[in-house]
Amino acid sequence: MALVSLEGVGKTFRGKGGSWEAVRDFSLGLEEGEFCCLLGTSGCGKTTVLNMLAGFEPVTAGRILLDGQPVAGPGADRGVVFQGHDSLYDWLNALDNIAFGLRLAGMGKRARREKAGHFLRLVGLAGQEGKHPAELSGGMKQRIQIARALAADPRMLLMDEPFGALDAMTRAALQGELSRIWAETRKTVLFITHDIEEAVALATRIGVMTRGPGGTLKAVVPVDLPFPRERTSDAFMAVFRQVHALIHAEIHPQ
Ligand X SMILES: Nc1ncnc2c1ncn2[C@@H]1O[C@H](COP(=O)(O)OP(=O)(O)OP(=O)(O)O)[C@@H](O)[C@H]1O
> Can you tell me which of 132, 194, 218, 244 binds ligand X, judged by CB under 6 A?
194
Binding status of residue 236 toward ligand X by CB under 6 A: no
C-beta closer to ligand X: residue 40 or 139: 40
127's CB contacts (< 8 A; 6+ apart) are: none
| Cα angle value 206/212/217 (rounded, 5°) | 30
Taking residues 100 to 129 in sequence order and writing x for each that binds another protein by CB under 8 A, - otherwise, the string is xx-xxx------------------------
Instruction: Give the separation between CA 205 and CA 203, rounded to whole angstroms.
Output: 5
Taking residues 172 to 211 in sequence order and writing x for each that binds another protein by CB under 8 A, - otherwise, the string is ----------------------------------------
C-beta closer to another protein: residue 86 or 184: 86
Binding status of residue 47 toward Mg ion by CB under 5 A: yes
Strands in 188-193's sheet, in edge-to-edge order, are 78-81, 156-160, 188-193, 35-39, 205-209, 217-222
Q: Is 64 helix (H, G, I), strand (E, B) or coil?
A: strand
C-beta closer to another protein: residue 132 or 244: 132
Binding status of residue 42 toward ligand X by CB under 6 A: yes
Binding status of residue 82 toward another protein by CB under 8 A: yes
CB of 90 to Mg ion, least distance (A): 23
Q: Quick check: 131 and 95 in contact, CB under 8 A?
A: no
> Can you tell me which of 152, 159, 202, 239 binds another protein, judged by CB under 8 A?
152
Q: How many residues does the chain have?
A: 254
> Can you tell me which of 8, 27, 31, 43 binds ligand X, judged by CB under 6 A?
43
Instruction: Give the separation between CA 148 and CA 118, rounded to whole angstroms.
Output: 11
Binding status of residue 222 toward another protein by CB under 8 A: no
Within residues 132-151, the interface with another protein by CB under 8 A covers: 132, 134, 145, 148-149
Instruction: Give the separation between CA 103 and CA 109, rounded to whole angstroms.
Output: 8
Query: What does the buried/exposed string (b/e) look like for 139-156 if buried means 16 or more CB atoms within 10 Å of the residue's CB?
Result: bbbbbbbbbbbbbbbbbb
> What residue ranges bind another protein (CB under 8 A)?
54-56, 73-76, 78-80, 82, 84, 86-91, 100-101, 103-105, 132, 134, 145, 148-149, 152, 154
